[in-house]
């Protein structure tokens, strides 16, 4: 019979632990959603940037193949030194 009766302190502690878990779960889900939104937004922005880069290269080069090769090498050298390896000539060609 004593086991069925929890003290007021034990009841409050049990409720507090349950409430703490609910708050934690809410915050965890909120952060997970925010992270997903950030990744989606960043991916979308990068796809748009790559499309714009490709469009600009295509407009600039036109039908001038030799100039196009030289431009891609120049862009590769400049962009790689500032932004990293993702701007290799092959990647720039793919963007185009």
The DSSP line for 61-87 is HTT-HHHHHHHHHHHHHHHHHHH-GGG
Residue pair 60/71 in contact (Cβ under 8 Å)? The answer is yes
Burial of 93 (0-12, 13-18, 19+ CB in 10 A): middle
If you compute the radius of gyration of the chain from its CA atoms, what whole number of angstroms results? 28
Residue 4 confidence (pLDDT): 60
Whether 39 is covered by a domain: the verdict is yes
- CA separation for the pair 52, 38 (Å, rounded): 21
Give per-residue pLDDT as tens, 44-93: 999 999 999 999 999 999 889 898 999 999 999 999 999 988 899 999 99
Whether 47 is covered by a domain: the verdict is yes
Whether 41 is covered by a domain: the verdict is yes
Structurally, the chain folds into a number of domains equal to 1
Whether 5 is covered by a domain: the verdict is no
Q: Taking the CB of residue 92, how many other CB atoms lie within 10 A of it?
A: 21
Against a cut of 0.75, is the pTM above it? no
Whether 66 is covered by a domain: the verdict is yes
């Amino acid at each position: 019979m004593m086991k069925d009766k929890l003290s007021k302190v034990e009841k409050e502690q049990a409720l507090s632990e349950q409430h703490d878990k609910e708050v934690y779960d809410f915050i965890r889900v909120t952060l997970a959603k925010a992270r997903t939104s950030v990744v989606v937004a960043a991916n979308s922005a990068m796809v748009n940037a790559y499309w714009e880069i490709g469009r600009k290269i295509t407009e600039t080069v036109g039908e001038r193949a030799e100039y196009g090769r030289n431009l891609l090498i120049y862009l590769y050298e400049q962009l790689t030194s500032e932004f990293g390896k993702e701007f290799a000539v092959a990647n720039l060609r793919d963007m185009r």
